[in-house]
Amino acid sequence: MEHRYLGKNKLEVSALGLGCMGLSHAYGQPLSYEEDKKLLEKAIDLGYTFFDTAEVYGPPENPHENEEILGKVLKPYRSKIKIATKFGICFDTAKEPPYPLLTDSRPQSIIKSLEGSLKRLNTDHIDLYYLHRIDASTPIETVAETVEGLIKEGKVLNWGISEADENTIRKAHAVCPLCAVQNRYSMMARHYESLFACLDKLNIGFVAFSPLANGFLSARYNKDSHFDPKFDYRASMPQFKAENYEKNIDLIHLLNNTADKHHTTPAVISLAWMMCKKPWIVPIPGTRNLQRLEENAQAAQIKLSDKEQQEIDLALNSISMSDVFGGSAFKSKNNQ
């Protein structure tokens, strides 16, 4: 797989990364360790070198499970790969389960989170350390200063922000240069395209999470698709609701028609569409399926012409779509 470069330090990563959250969180009952190991090692074989996790990607009883899995499986490959993890969100265990999530970006909390992540990931450094969500109670400049200190110590090599707007990005970058911004981005969620000019000017990469709209843009689901509400967040996502199926039929037709022209799949087209926009966009689709893992990797080989991209964008601007899942509301721990 070809590589791309993020930020002024030119962090080298595979053109597609692997979002690992679904192995233990949000997309069905967690897989067994053996299944996790098989999928992650297959990703290595396919050329993935960029693995994305977070300290809260696990069930409430063990929110650190995802990092622990990656720490065990990826240790033999550590010198060949890049690991991204995140800080700034914790479970409010003072409440009854399911525990609500809180933002907490106080300096002491960042330092504690990092030490925990390093231990669980079996490493002495984090290649890309993200602020998971903005904490309204802690100035972003304070967060940047804290991470800058960790970079000087060598424990963090690069840092980024997830779900950030331009004002926050500029403030953070002025204190400690950002390597990447990780925001939601897909054919159904294009509002962050407004950041591209700023990111280009500041030399900041863009890592796209949920690039397939939580799997919907694979065009493999229909109005009869069922998700276990106990383990799978898609059960409550608007794009998967039976009553919204007809609202998205034109989008599915667009994907299928474009995929047919390139002899590939809708998922590959969805990923290639964003990768062809900028050389510093890196999508991180997640999957629990070996076939989907291999399928997604093919997106790096699809080159859409400028004309094709413009035609797709024009179509996306005009066709009807349902609402799409856009994130969660978080409270600040400082205000509790």
Domains identified in the chain and CATH numbers: 3-328 (3.20.20.100)
Are 183 and 177 a contacting pair, CB within 8 Å?
A: no
Higher pLDDT, 293 or 224: 293
For 7, counting Cβ atoms within 10 Å of its Cβ (0-12 exposed, 13-18 middle, 19+ buried), the class is: buried
pLDDT above 70 (res 195): yes
Per-residue pLDDT, 171: 98
pLDDT band at residue 25 using 50, 70 and 90 as cut-offs: confident
The mean pLDDT of 231-250, rounded to a whole number, is 90
Residue 177: count of CB within 10 angstroms of its CB: 18
The mean pLDDT of 13-40, rounded to a whole number, is 92
* Cα–Cα distance measured from residue 61 to residue 97, given in angstroms and rounded to the nearest whole number: 9
pLDDT above 90 (res 67): yes
Determine whether 27 is an active site residue: no
Higher pLDDT, 229 or 259: 259
pLDDT band at residue 112 using 50, 70 and 90 as cut-offs: very high
For residue 259, give Cα distances in angstroms to 168, 220, 283, 320: 37, 13, 18, 20
By percentage, how much of the chain surpasses pLDDT 90? 81
Model confidence over 86-95: pLDDT tens digits? 999 987 777 7
pLDDT above 70 (res 153): yes
Sheet harboring 50-52: ordered strands across?
Answer: 18-19, 50-52, 82-87, 128-131, 159-162, 180-184, 205-209, 281-283
pLDDT above 50 (res 327): no
The mean pLDDT of 327-331, rounded to a whole number, is 45
Residue 108: count of CB within 10 angstroms of its CB: 9
pLDDT band at residue 98 using 50, 70 and 90 as cut-offs: low
Are 123 and 71 a contacting pair, CB within 8 Å?
A: yes
pLDDT band at residue 96 using 50, 70 and 90 as cut-offs: low
The mean pLDDT of 187-215, rounded to a whole number, is 96
* Cα–Cα distance measured from residue 117 to residue 126, given in angstroms and rounded to the nearest whole number: 8
pLDDT above 90 (res 284): yes
Q: Pick the catalytic residue from 27, 48, 57, 221.
A: 57
pLDDT above 70 (res 335): no
pLDDT band at residue 325 using 50, 70 and 90 as cut-offs: confident
Please give the distance of CA 71 from its chain centroid, rounded to a whole number: 18
